[in-house]
Amino acid sequence: MSNLSEAIEELNKEVLKPSVVKTEGAGKAYQAVAQSMAIAIQDVTDHLRNISTLTSTAVAVATERMVAEPEKADLYSKIIAKAQANMNRTADSFEKIGVQAGNVLKDFPSGSD
């Protein structure tokens, strides 16, 4: 056997040791979970942005209608309050999902332990 063949064989033995395979597998799994958590946060960020746009639009329309129909100010005030409450719930969800995603990742074994 040539020196190159022996070197390759020795390298394969080292790389394919169960401890190395297990550590690398855990590291790859950790990276997959990290990517999934990042996607979850991106999705909730998009949702927050969309709700913010809808809330701004609802508030603007309700304010416009309130000016045009002052006798219905109470109705439009309720619409504005509901839109803002919805925005607040969405912001709370954003925070909750972000914290949970961080906890999932923090508690997931990385393979370096």
- What lies within 8 Å, CB to CB, of 112 at 6+ separation is 23, 27
Crossing angle of helices 73-107 and 18-68, in 10° steps, is 170
> What's residue 13's pLDDT?
80
Q: What is the domain partition of the chain in residue ranges?
A: 3-107
> What's residue 34's pLDDT?
94
DSSP 16: T
Mean pLDDT by 10 residues, the chain (113 residues): 81 79 84 95 97 97 97 97 97 96 90 64
> What's residue 21's pLDDT?
76
Question: CA dist 77 to 15, 74, 86, 91, Å?
Answer: 67, 5, 14, 21
Tally of CB atoms within 10 A around 26: 16
> What's residue 1's pLDDT?
56
The pTM for the full model equals 0.74
- Which residue in 103, 101, 109, 108 sits closest to 37, CA to CA? 101
